[in-house]
Amino acid sequence: MKGRVFSGARPTGKQHIGNYLGAIQNYVKLQEEYECIYCIVDIHSLTTMEDVSNMQGNIHEMIVDWLAAGLDPDKSVLFVQSHVPEVMELHTLLSMVTPLGWLLRVPTFKEKARMQPQNVNYGLVGYPVLMTSDIVLYKADAVPVGEDQLPHLELAREIVRRFKDMFSPVFPEPQARVTSSPLVLGLDGVNKMSKSLDNQVDMAATPEETEKRLKAAYTDPQRRYRSDPGRPEICNIYKLHGFFDPENMADIAERCRSARIGCVECKKMLAQAINTTLQPFREKRADIAANPEYVKEVLDDGARRARIMAGETLGEVKEAMHLL
Ligand code: TRP
């Protein structure tokens, strides 16, 4: 039997090339080997209230990107977290087996509490319990996540073990599958690519926008004049070439070091490589975006399929906890 993968991502709207290289590409690949369930976690967004006023728009843009990138509703279950309200029931039940001390020690909680001292809400402390509920409601075996999510996964495993000790072994212990993708830095050359830092290149950008965004990107600061030799090894633009035209790497490095190519030209070449790579995606995206009915159908069908699995698991949990 195929193993089951679950992963969730917050609705951040249009996806950028960092999302693509870091997560989406991997999601697409996993579809060949696993039964995959991919969820847009809108309820989790409410713990920080970032971007929530345009929640519906962000969900829409994100699922359109996912579909155009190759997430296939015939292979995977694609849905929005709140469309399966069973997850909130499970969250309440699992909160009864989760010691508060475990939650207060989670690094992401401590960081968020520091960053938003005016809004250290109950839901924020329970964030990993909701995430555990996401995963175990579907009895997922494997969870593709970035490095930063490992403490959450460890907690999920501890909650599963504790539930087993206190009640019964309803859930498999989920294994983290750390995506080996390299860190993709944004156009500032310093921070991880992210929409909130406005240092991103959207997958769905037009070729002109792509070129324009790259024009302003940070390169080797020692290269002040066109005639200054560059250091490709410290240049983020060079690093991005590695993802989109790896076969030209050696040539570009050589021409940068000898100042036979300037940053402007180098960025133009990168824009071209990105535009060529993403052209089929962008065409497909335009078709999907023109058909909002289809997008709604995908999400409705995903939620319907997810609810069937969720209902079964929740029944077992209630029975184990003497509620039935
Ligand atoms: N916490 C994850 C993040 O911020 C999102 C998430 C929610 C998730 N539920 C999940 C990831 C379940 C994997 C599995 O990126």
By most ligand atoms within 8 Å of CB, the mutation choice from 84, 103, 152 for ligand 1 is 152
Start-to-end CA span in the chain (Å): 30
Whether the pLDDT of residue 63 is over 80: the answer is yes
How far is ligand 1, taken at its centre, from the CA of residue 213, in Å? 29
The whole-number pLDDT of residue 283 equals 98
If you ran DSSP here, which 8-state letter would residue 229 be given? P
The whole-number pLDDT of residue 49 equals 85
Ligand 1 atom nearest to 127, measured from its CA = 1
Query: Whose C-alpha lies nearest to ligand 1, atom 10?
Result: 8
Per residue in 171-192, pLDDT tens? 999 999 987 777 899 999 999 9
Whether the pLDDT of residue 1 is over 90: the answer is no
Residues with CB under 6 A from ligand 1: 6-10, 41, 44, 131, 134-135, 143, 145, 149, 152
Residue with tokens 């402007």: 264
Whether the pLDDT of residue 156 is over 80: the answer is yes
What is d(CA 181, CA 22) in angstroms, rounded to the nearest whole number? 5
- Whether the CB-CB separation of 230 and 267 falls below 8 Å is answered with no
Per residue in 92-105, pLDDT tens? 999 999 999 999 99
The whole-number pLDDT of residue 117 equals 94
The whole-number pLDDT of residue 273 equals 97
How far is ligand 1, taken at its centre, from the CA of residue 60, in Å? 18
Per residue in 19-36, pLDDT tens? 999 999 999 999 999 999
Among 268, 264, 275, 237, residue whose Cα is nearest residue 253: 237
How far is ligand 1, taken at its centre, from the CA of residue 131, in Å? 6
The whole-number pLDDT of residue 50 equals 82
The whole-number pLDDT of residue 179 equals 76
Does domain 207-286 fall into CATH 1.10.240.10? Answer: yes
Half-sphere exposure of residue 228, counting CA atoms within 13 Å on the CB side? 11
By most ligand atoms within 8 Å of CB, the mutation choice from 4, 5, 7, 103 for ligand 1 is 7
Among 153, 165, 201, residue whose Cα is nearest residue 8: 153
% of the chain with per-residue pLDDT over 70: 100
Q: C-alpha 322: how far from its chain's center?
A: 36
If you ran DSSP here, which 8-state letter would residue 124 be given? H
Ranges of each domain in the chain: 4-184+292-320, 207-286
% of the chain with per-residue pLDDT over 90: 94
Radius of gyration in angstroms for the set of CA atoms belonging to the chain, rounded to a whole number: 22
How far is ligand 1, taken at its centre, from the CA of residue 51, in Å? 17
Whether the pLDDT of residue 147 is over 90: the answer is no
Amino acid letter, 24? I
By most ligand atoms within 8 Å of CB, the mutation choice from 41, 46, 132 for ligand 1 is 41
Q: What is the mean pLDDT of residues 14-21?
A: 96
The CATH fold assigned to 4-184+292-320 is Rossmann fold (3.40.50)
- Whether the CB-CB separation of 255 and 261 falls below 8 Å is answered with yes
How far is ligand 1, taken at its centre, from the CA of residue 307, in Å? 19
Residues 6+ apart with CB under 8 A from 272: none
pTM tops 0.85: yes
To which H or E segment does residue 217 belong? none
Task: Please report which confidence band the pLDDT of residue 140 belongs to, taking 50, 70 and 90 as the band edges.
Answer: very high
Q: What is the mean pLDDT of residues 224-229?
A: 91
By most ligand atoms within 8 Å of CB, the mutation choice from 141, 149, 171, 196 for ligand 1 is 149
Task: Please report which confidence band the pLDDT of residue 67 belongs to, taking 50, 70 and 90 as the band edges.
Answer: very high
Task: Please report which confidence band the pLDDT of residue 86 belongs to, taking 50, 70 and 90 as the band edges.
Answer: very high
What is d(CA 199, CA 13) in angstroms, rounded to the nearest whole number? 15
Q: What is the mean pLDDT of residues 243-262?
A: 94
How far is ligand 1, taken at its centre, from the CA of residue 214, in Å? 30
The whole-number pLDDT of residue 151 equals 95
How far is ligand 1, taken at its centre, from the CA of residue 222, in Å? 39
Partner residues linked to 178 by β-bridges: 145
The whole-number pLDDT of residue 259 equals 95
Q: What is the mean pLDDT of residues 130-144?
A: 98
